[in-house]
Amino acid sequence: MSSENTPYGFGDNSYKAAGKLEGLTRLVDDFYDQMDTLPEAKHIREMHPEDLTLSRKKLAYFLSGWLGGPSLYAEHFGGISIPRSHQHLVIGDSEGDAWLLCMEKALEKQPYQERFKQYLLEQLQFPTERIKDVCSQKWKNRRNLCPL
């Protein structure tokens, strides 16, 4: 999908390496299919609505802009702060690991270059860590306010 020397993370190179919106849609579909089937993902699947149609669209649109392509999420849903949009959930290490496992399994099914798969999985660890930090801080503060 891209040349071996493509510097991912610059311009729309990562978006193109992912196959643009069509490729991202396949990735997201495989991601949510993994979430539906992996026992390790049962808990995070329960955090989502039964019908994943909107979740699939939102993730594909978010990834489009995040990878340097069109800002489809912002165009259709407005701005987003990924950590803040998840702070109502209890997300710790096991949830972050399960999310990344689903993405890793979904990436294995894609026709991407191996180095792009590795790059993307490494990059996705950053927002995963931020989400965990924001969520754990919120719930830690809430526990400190509530006498047990």
CATH code, domain with 141:
1.10.490.10
* Residue 14 included in any domain: no
- The mean pLDDT of the chain is 88
Per-residue pLDDT, 73: 95
Q: Let me know if residue 126 belongs to a domain.
A: yes
Query: 61 is in which domain, residue-wise?
Result: 20-145
Q: Look at residue 70 and tell me if it is in a domain.
A: yes
Structural domain includes residue 43:
yes
Q: Any alpha helices (H) in the chain, and if so which ranges? A: 13-17, 20-37, 42-45, 53-66, 72-77, 82-86, 93-108, 114-145
Q: Tell whether the model's pLDDT for residue 12 goes beyond 80.
A: yes
pLDDT at 90: 76
Domain count, the chain: 1
- Decide if 119 contacts 8 (C-beta within 8 A): yes
| Alpha carbon distance 89, 80 (integer Å) | 16
Indicate whether this model's pTM tops 0.75: yes
